[in-house]
Structure 1
Amino acid sequence: MASKRNGEAVSMVLPSMKHDNSVANPPLESMITKEVRHILTNISQKSTKADLFSSTASTSSNKNILTDMEELIHKVADSNMDTGDISRTIDKIRNTYARALRTMSERLEDSISARSHDLVTLADKVDKLTRMMESETMPQRKVLDRLYYAQMDERRNRVSRAHLKTFQWLFRHKSEDDTLWDDFLGWLFSLDTHTMYWIRGKAGSRKSTLMRELDQKIAQQRDFHEWTIGSEALHASSYLWNAGSVEQKSLTGLLLSLVHQLFQQRADLVEHSVTSNRWQIASERGVALRNWSDDELKQVLKTFARQACPDAKILFLVDGLDEYDGDDQERLSMIAFLEALAAEDGVKICVSSRPWVIYKDAFKFCPQLWLEELTKGDISLYVHDHLLGSQLFRVQQQRYPKLLTNIADEIIQKAAGVFLWVRLVVQELLKRLRDGAFAAELLKQLHAIPPDLDDYFMRMMETIDQRYRQDASIMLQIALHRMDFTFDQTNPDSKHVAGPDLLLLHLKYLDDEEAPNFVNSKDFRPLRYDDDEEVSFWIETLD
């Protein structure tokens, strides 16, 4: 940039312009030098600022300034300088620089003036948007707060993520000769189907993991461009969990979760989806909203879909229908509602469950997949990655090249698609390796492991030393009791209240359980955290 070059030239000259006692007229030279330094310093400082507007600066003016500066520098450097020439050169630089600044200023003013209308318009829009947000935030927030419950995302967050590269087959169109499952993307992208998609699988087959992977990809809008093209993509998910709180295993909790997620994505539709009475109450300060009924929540979902779907597509994911805490009639009622919701234009619903008779009958005409039949490749990938990730196993593999193949083949055959069984078996084999087992011992251990998950858990219990079985039973009962004790203190309308988290430290009191009334004894006291010796003792004991 010319202005930048000017600044650099001036910066190089300024340090060299010091008073020279050999010059004939020191007072005059001092005065001129001071004036020149003042002008050049000013130019140097302003050159940096001028860079911002260099696109509007006159190139010829910059060249003239630089030429005049060079001429002045040569004259100042000449001890036989003519003070008149120097004065005229200084005036010339001043005039040229002033013209350049005026040109930049005029062009900058023109640019600002041309954009002033846009700036005013933008400011008006921001002001209107701010006022609208201030007027709408309060009722919308009250509605969202009333929908929320503390464990809403707990089950989703507990579900383990898919192993790297597994379940990728779901996100590709299947080949026509593959009859094991119905094309998921074909169902999602179709415009004429109002049926749900059913993911069925045994306990431990990682249905929830697959649903979470699908949930994540939808949220990132990956692999689904054909479905969302030209439309806004909305989605909401719910993970039913029978071991959780009342809300986590009920229709009410499912509906609250779905509505809450949709309203978070489209807050502008809150007012148009809830009843006018609820919206009016939400708009009044200091007035609390009443609890939601299932019927009201169902209607809100349908209304939202009708309001949004002319310009949007909605995908609902409902994991664990078999985890729902209700009788068969209540299960059929839930299925009927989901079918009615799936019939709305622009709405797709994917559900998962164990292959219970009630779901087989309800979804027999729906596109579906049987998870155990499709995960052999995923199981093989998991086994290879985890076993080869062990240095101890790689040593055995070098000595017995067929070891990995033999183990992987037997695991795949015995697992019958149950990923939980696979994970437990791989962990057990790796533990045996760390304990010093060789290849033959690993295969022998694998042969002895029962293929059924329930039998496997029973075997785990039976391997506990007889002396410690009572303690193990007590620990399991405490853990199970904690799962049932799920009072939610954050929700005053909840029928349950969350108890304290179960800590490993709590189990230290098991040593005192022989005295039934030990909690009331004088020796029962809190752990003294200021006693380093006592704290260290319990850390080592519980390690």
Structure 2
Amino acid sequence: DILHSLESFANNPRYGKVLREHDETLDWIWHSRKDKTKESCPGFVEWLKNDKGIFWISGKPGAGKSTLMKYIHENITTMKLLTRRKEKPPVLVSFFFHDLGTPSEKTFSGLLHALLHQLLEQCPNLLPDILPRFQRLRRKLPCRSDAAGLWSETELQGAFLDIQQSDYDVKFLFLVDGLDECGENQSDMIRFLKKLSTRKTGSHPQFKVLCSGRPEIGIEFNTGDISSLAVQDYTSPDITKFARDSFNEACKTLLPVNPQPSENVGSW
């Protein structure tokens, strides 16, 4: 069936390898511009609530982009802010690129396979919308024993556009990390994400795309009305807290719990 034809690409091992945030860090992402007491307001809260399609998170190597993306993915605040009254619950799907991983972890095709599988698994009501395309592919390649080989990049993109034109009125959040680690067809991928996130009038699905990568990839996003932030502009307090906590923890392991009198002799 359709899900079976996609499932060999469904795993995304990179996600599990991304480090989680240090305690009490990254909460600046939830600062709203309405809160005058907050100095750093990146605009992410406003983007979750509005109808704009793409939010671009850039950052230098090691700035913490993937950790921030994982934090957003796992924090319940994301879905709370995304949900509007009287709307269907939004659907979150994600993909983390990995340039040192398997081919499916670093290609545009791998991204499309994984996102489509997650989307259909969570929203089986959408299966009829791409069933005609799947049946046509089956007729075209009736002897294909490898079901995963049915889907080309073109057909996968077509399946998403079929869903975009459907009457299933729901909001999708696509979270895509590490665009610069996609080893091929980066320009095609960005064009597709921009096209998918273009708001359609009427009762159709809305696709919002949160993506991250190194600054040079963002050049292709710098057209139109796209919200963005640079991670390193906000993480200075987080780095300070991490360094202080790490130092304090190290001191606990170096100093004895019940130190004896030193008789005026230094211990170092």
Aligned to 2:13: 154
| Distance in 2, Cα, partners of 1:256 & 1:169 | 33
Give yes or no for the alignment of 1:215 onto 2:73. Answer: yes
The answer on whether the counterparts of 1:238 and 1:317 sit within 8 Å (CA) in structure 2 is yes
Aligned to 1:233: 90
Give yes or no for the alignment of 1:184 onto 2:184. Answer: no
The answer on whether the counterparts of 1:180 and 1:370 sit within 8 Å (CA) in structure 2 is no
| Distance in 2, Cα, partners of 1:308 & 1:169 | 36
Paired residues, number: 245
Of 166, 173, 186, 2:25 maps to 166
Deviation of 1:377 after TM superposition, in Å, equals: 1.3
What letter is aligned with 1:203? Answer: P
Deviation of 1:205 after TM superposition, in Å, equals: 1.0
What letter is aligned with 2:228? Answer: Q
Aligned to 2:177: 319
The secondary structure found in structure 1 opposite 2:99 is coil
Structure with more contact order per residue of length (Cα contacts < 8 Å, sep ≥ 6): 2
Q: Deviations over 1:32-81 (max 9, x none)?
A: xxxxxxxxxxxxxxxxxxxxxxxxxxxxxxxxxxxxxxxxxxxxxxxxxx
Aligned to 1:337: 192
What letter is aligned with 1:382? Answer: F
Deviation of 1:295 after TM superposition, in Å, equals: 1.0
**Residue correspondence of structure 1 range 430-469 to structure 2 within 5 A:** none
Give yes or no for the alignment of 1:388 onto 2:241. Answer: no
The runs of at least 4 consecutive aligned structure 1 residues that moved more than 3 Å come to: 174-182, 221-224, 279-282, 286-290, 391-396
The secondary structure found in structure 2 opposite 1:275 is helix
Q: Deviations over 1:318-340 (max 9, x none)?
A: 100100102xxx32221111100
Of 265, 276, 291, 2:122 maps to 265
The answer on whether the counterparts of 1:180 and 1:369 sit within 8 Å (CA) in structure 2 is no
Deviation of 1:349 after TM superposition, in Å, equals: 0.4
The secondary structure found in structure 1 opposite 2:209 is strand
Check 1:152–1:224 CA distance in 2 against 1; reply closer, same or farther (3 A cut).
closer
The answer on whether the counterparts of 1:181 and 1:370 sit within 8 Å (CA) in structure 2 is no
| Distance in 1, Cα, partners of 2:137 & 2:211 | 35
| Distance in 2, Cα, partners of 1:179 & 1:383 | 22
Aligned to 2:262: none
Q: Could you say what the CA RMSD is over the residues aligned between the two structures, in angstroms?
A: 2.9
Deviation of 1:187 after TM superposition, in Å, equals: 0.9
Aligned to 2:263: none
Deviation of 1:144 after TM superposition, in Å, equals: 1.3
Give yes or no for the alignment of 1:206 onto 2:206. Answer: no
**Residue correspondence of structure 1 range 333-482 to structure 2 within 5 A:** 333-345=188-200, 346-356=206-216, 358-363=217-222, 365-392=225-252, 395=255
Q: Deviations over 1:212-251 (max 9, x none)?
A: 111112xxx4354242132221111111111111111100
Deviation of 1:162 after TM superposition, in Å, equals: 1.3
Question: What percentage of residue pairs aligned between the two structures are identical?
Answer: 26
The secondary structure found in structure 1 opposite 2:189 is helix
Check 1:394–1:207 CA distance in 2 against 1; reply closer, same or farther (3 A cut).
same
Structure 1: unaligned runs, 5 residues or longer: 1-141, 397-436, 439-543
Check 1:144–1:151 CA distance in 2 against 1; reply closer, same or farther (3 A cut).
closer
Check 1:304–1:369 CA distance in 2 against 1; reply closer, same or farther (3 A cut).
same
Q: Deviations over 1:72-125 (max 9, x none)?
A: xxxxxxxxxxxxxxxxxxxxxxxxxxxxxxxxxxxxxxxxxxxxxxxxxxxxxx
Check 1:256–1:280 CA distance in 2 against 1; reply closer, same or farther (3 A cut).
closer
Give yes or no for the alignment of 1:299 onto 2:149. Answer: no
| Distance in 2, Cα, partners of 1:385 & 1:373 | 21
Check 1:267–1:293 CA distance in 2 against 1; reply closer, same or farther (3 A cut).
same
- Specify which structure has the higher proportion of strand: 2
The secondary structure found in structure 2 opposite 1:232 is coil
Structure 2: unaligned runs, 5 residues or longer: 201-205, 257-266
**Under a length normalisation based on structure 2, what TM-score does the superposition of the two structures give?**
0.80
The secondary structure found in structure 1 opposite 2:32 is coil
Deviation of 1:362 after TM superposition, in Å, equals: 2.6
Of 85, 100, 103, 1:246 maps to 103
Check 1:251–1:179 CA distance in 2 against 1; reply closer, same or farther (3 A cut).
farther
